Amino acid sequence: MNQAIRIKENVYWIGVNDRRTHLFENYWPLPKGVAYNSYLIVDEKVAVIDTIERNKMEDYVENIERLLEGRPVDYVIVNHMEPDHTGALKNLLARYPDAVVVGNAKTFPMLRNFYDINDHLLEVKEGSTLELGRHALTFYMTPMLHWPETMVSFESTEGILFSGDIFGAFGTLDGGIFDDEVDLDYLEEEISRYYSNIVGKFGQAARAALKKLETLPVRLICATHGPVRRSTISDIVAKYHAWSKYETDKGVVIAFSSMYGNTERMADEIARGLAEKGIKKIRVHDTSKTHPSYIINDIFRFRGVILGSCAYNTDIFPTMETLLHELEQIGVKNHLLGYFGDKSWSGGAIRRLDRFAENIKWEVVRAPHEAWGAPGANDREECREIARAMAERLHALYP
């Protein structure tokens, strides 16, 4: 879509869809694309709220010019400095050189470092209000969601929360802008994958922001990615409460790394053991095929995690190392852990998984097992024991 879409009187969505970029932040896969949402308030004063990624900025600025019909932009609100939301800023300011950039004390050093912008700056603090005419914006600081300078802007006349990356989602907006115009079931995984991988590390900050914002009479949530929320505000807020507290369902994620199939056979043995013990929600991932973002998303959903890897050059297989590193960085809490390995001429995988267990501090349901070569009868039984121990703990936690 390359058009302004009215979301309330004199308030417009002026975002863009990106279906060409394969990787968000050059890392997270975008099979369903991504939308960069920007917003415009046309009042006695004109305010742009967040911009977009630079690869779409020509169409974006031309769209603003058409809508304003010669009027200038008075303010550009920077809720979040990340370049997917400020990439068009310099181009926009070139067209509107008198526009004032609005941010907080932590915004402006980044603004200088990224874009060498030093003039026409307005600093706002917690609770500051910017009058635009009929509309007014009040600013609330939400640090570490997910950068230190992040804030949100609340428009009190219409009850619009311009939430930055909070409540966002991967996925393009294919015709619909509002949540009740799009297929949320189709976007469900992209909504939770966005939270678990982009926001997930900052659960404590998310809880603090939710507590701060719950007193506001919000009737619309306008995030910088994903649909505008008007019908499912309570639903996404409830999900953020649950995700930020690492609430999980009764289920198990099995992630394995395997060169020649032996570790995979052990993973399948464990999966079968779980099923026989009444665990229905089982997700099995090959780390060489599945990007870590999808595995991490499932780990945010389910309490049990079982990891297995072959040895590789006296250490762990590289794709499992990537997953372990991501999990350690995010610091996911409140899970149950089991792990296993397979070696040929030397070990290494179990040593690394031991360190992971020590670092992550999840409850380990049973001592690990490492097979030597093709798993034999004893190895298969040890895998079943890991499955039984995991199933028993899950049944105890979710009677």
pLDDT tens digits, one per residue of 138-166: 999 999 988 999 999 999 999 999 999 99
Topology alike, domains 5-244 and 252-397? no
pLDDT bin (cut points 50, 70, 90) of residue 1 is low
Q: Which CATH superfamily is domain 5-244 in?
A: Ribonuclease Z/Hydroxyacylglutathione hydrolase-like (3.60.15.10)
Average pLDDT rounded to a whole number, residues 310-316: 93
How far is residue 200's CA from residue 193's CA, in Å, rounded to a whole number?
Answer: 9
Q: Tell me, what's the pLDDT at 344?
A: 87
pLDDT in tens, 92-107: 999 999 999 999 999 9
pLDDT > 70: what percent of the chain? 99
Q: Is the pTM of this model over 0.85?
A: yes
CB atoms within 10 A of CB 77: 25
Helix 233-244 with 203-213: angle, nearest 10 deg:
140
Q: Is the pLDDT of residue 86 over 70?
A: yes
CA distance 115 to 118: 9
CA proximity to 10, closest of 132, 98, 108:
132
> Residue 289 — very low, low, confident or very high, per pLDDT cuts 50/70/90?
very high
Q: How far apart are CA 163 and CA 218, in angstroms?
A: 11
Average pLDDT for 312-335: 96
Q: Beta 369-372 vs 336-343: how paired, if at all?
A: parallel
**Residue 2 in this model has a pLDDT that exceeds 70:** no
Distances (CA, A) of 393 to 117, 357, 398: 56, 17, 9
pLDDT digits (tens, 9 = 90+) for 25-36: 999 999 999 999
Query: Tokens 């030397």 belong to which residue?
Result: 346
The amino acid at 86: T
Q: Are strands 46-49 and 39-42 parallel, antiparallel or unpaired?
A: antiparallel
Per-residue pLDDT, 56: 81
pLDDT value at residue 59: 85
Domain residue spans of the chain? 5-244, 252-397
- Separation of alpha carbons 342 and 322, rounded Å: 18
Q: Average per-residue pLDDT in the chain?
A: 96
pLDDT at 326: 96
Instruction: Considering only CA atoms, give the Rg of the chain.
Output: 24
Q: How confident is the model at residue 3 (pLDDT cuts 50, 70, 90)?
A: confident
CA atoms within 13 A on the CB side of 62: 7
Q: pLDDT, tens digit, for every residue of 329-375?
A: 999 999 999 999 999 888 889 999 999 999 999 999 999 999 999 99
Please report, as a single letter, which amino acid is at residue 342.
D
pLDDT higher than 80, residue 377: yes
Report the C-alpha gap between 101 and 119 in whole angstroms. Answer: 8
Listed in sequence order, the DSSP H helices in the chain are 57-68, 83-86, 89-95, 107-115, 184-194, 203-213, 233-244, 262-276, 292-301, 318-330, 349-360, 377-397
- Topology of domain 252-397 in CATH is Rossmann fold (3.40.50)
Backbone φ and ψ for 28, nearest 5 degrees, come out as -85, 125
Distance, in Å, from the CA atom of 28 to the CA atom of 26, rounded to the nearest integer, reads 6
- Render pLDDT for 193-227 as a digit per residue (tens, 0 to 9): 999 999 999 999 999 999 999 999 999 999 999 99
Contact 154, 160 (CB under 8 A): yes
